[in-house]
Chain A
Amino acid sequence: MSGFLKKMSDLDKRVIFVLISLAVIIPLLYPLFIEINVNPEVKAVYDTIENLPNGSTVFLAMDFDPSSKPELYPMAEAVLRHCFRKNHKVIGMTFWVTGVGLGEKALTDIAKEYNKEYGTDYLYLGWKAGGYALVIQMGEEGIAAAFPVDHYGRETASMPILQKITHLKNIDYLVELAAGASIGTWYYYGKMKYKFKMGGGCTGVMAASWYNLLKIDWINGFMGGLRGAAEYEKLIDKKSKATRGMDAQSVSHMLIIAMIILGNIAYFANRAKGNK
């Protein structure tokens, strides 16, 4: 027994790497489909989109890049599916120049699933330098003034989707999918002034800080990490990437917990031995 505990405390990190690899790969190959419970903060985002009148406009800010794709991309897909299913119009953009292709792919792929027409049902503004200044411009001078051309270089002012929705104050809901601090930009320069409703999604490591944003009413709900995305997939009844990923996350969390407990047992056993 003491030999095992000694080995545990000196465990080679390569063993941990192999165990984590297996904990991730096996559940992805053989899914467990464990039931996911939906948290109220995720339900709030779903309910807001669900209760908007058909044909409302949702602004989807996809402020992430490939490094956080596993968590935030499934959220974007799930929210888009929900919006298009409800016949809402979607305007997408990103503050992250390295994420511009992800936003485009999510919008075009999901729009194709629901036979939506570009320029009428959805629009992708892409990326432009400026950060908060863009939000001010979209609020004061209009979306077409801030983005005279879309991601593809087409003129935006004449597009049917921007005929009624000209300024930020006209949008019905803004969903901010953030891998960084862009939620502040949307709140300070957008929501505070133009009074639109705002919800969002963030990476797992950011989720702890977003509970505060919920409390102080910056957002009315949010999806935290892969779990949040999986909960949203459950709500729209379309299990996809996030639900499959949750099995891998489940097993790897359990493995890490087991290793921490074993590591502590080994630590105390070795310490007690050293004291004798």
Chain B
Amino acid sequence: MDQFKKLAPLIVAFVMGVFFGLQYYIPHPFTDDLLTGMSKWFIVIGGIAMGLGIVSLFYSHIYKIKRRAPAWGFSFVMFIALFTMLGVGIYCANAEVITETGKQTIYGWLYQSFMVPLQSTMFSILAFYVASAAFRAFRAKTKEATLLLIAAIIVMFARVPMGEAIYAQIPTFQVGGMTIPPTIGNITGWIMKTINMAAQGGISLGICLGVIAMSLKIIFGIEKSYMGSTK
């Protein structure tokens, strides 16, 4: 039985992996129907995964409260938020409230009044950390760091209208049909569309090869960590 438990997921991964890998290259109504059927399974599994996520979140925070872990009080806040949104969503999602902007559902009001400002505030704090980190870390200590620094300053300067307006004050002249100095748009365009794209292309290719290698390892049962064990 134990052997079967270990073998069954490997067989499923192999059969499904090989079949749906080949399916992509065999455009036929039969294979398309199979893919559509499988996609429905995926939607159902996605829904169940969402439920599992909530259960896991529930237990993880209950555990924190029981252990009086650091900042365990915030777990209570999480439960209040979770059950309020869940309760409103299930029992009175379409009930309306009158707000200063007109009628709104209670769920929509909770979302717009709590979720949006809280999440926006959290991420806006990044601006301060990015500025502080840029000031401290952007030092021309090596040749590579200097190149990165120069490229970053040019792009930061040119990607905002104020930078373009300042640069536009520099007098230009024509030499053999070329504008000297080139426009700031051309300089950043070259950085983004030539240097950046070459680097991004290399990274993307590397990622794709990695994904293919990992997929093959899963299909052929070499990589088993998804089963919860590396043995």
Q: Which residues of A contact B (CB under 8 A)?
A: 11, 13, 16-17, 19-21, 24, 32, 34-37, 39, 65-70, 98, 100-102, 104-105, 128-134, 136-137, 140-141, 152-153, 208-209, 211-212, 215, 227, 246-247, 249-257, 259-261, 263-264, 267-268
Contact = CB atoms under 8 A, between A and B. Distances in A.
Contact of A133 (B40, B149, B200, B201): B40
B163 to A, nearest CB: 7
Nearest to B165: A34
Contacts of B118: 66
A11 B199 CA distance: 34
A246 to B, nearest CB: 6
B46 A131 contact: yes
Interface string B103-126: 000011001100111111011100
Contact of B132 (A16, A21, A39): A16
B6 interface: no
B40 A257 contact: no
A35 B165 contact: yes
Nearest to B33: A140
Contacts of A259: 131, 134-135
Nearest to A259: B135
Interface stretch (B69-77, B151-159, B171-179, B218-226): B151-159
Contact of A98 (B40, B119, B134, B139): B119
Contacts of B47: 129
Contacts of A153: 94
16 contacts: A66-B115, A66-B120, A70-B120, A105-B108, A130-B39, A137-B39, A137-B43, A140-B35, A152-B94, A250-B161, A252-B131, A259-B135, A260-B134, A260-B152, A263-B136, A263-B139
Contact of A257 (B130, B157, B204): B157
A129 B112 CA distance: 22
Contacts of A32: 162
Interface of B: 32, 35-36, 38-40, 42-43, 46-47, 49-50, 94, 107-108, 111-112, 115-120, 122-124, 127-128, 130-132, 134-136, 138-140, 149, 152-153, 156-157, 159-165, 185, 192-193, 196-197, 200-201, 204
Nearest to B123: A67
Contacts of A35: 161, 165
A211 B39 contact: no
A269 B32 CA distance: 67
B36 A141 contact: yes
B185 A37 contact: yes
B40 A249 contact: no
Nearest to A258: B135
A35 B159 CA distance: 12
B47 to A, nearest CB: 5
A104 B119 contact: no
B201 A260 contact: no
Nearest to B156: A253
Contacts of A36: 161
A111 to B, nearest CB: 14
Which 3 A/B pairs are nearest by Cβ-Cβ distance? Answer: A133-B39, A250-B162, A129-B46
Contacts of B185: 37, 39
Contact of A208 (B94, B160, B163, B196): B196
Contacts of B165: 34-35
B128 A17 contact: yes
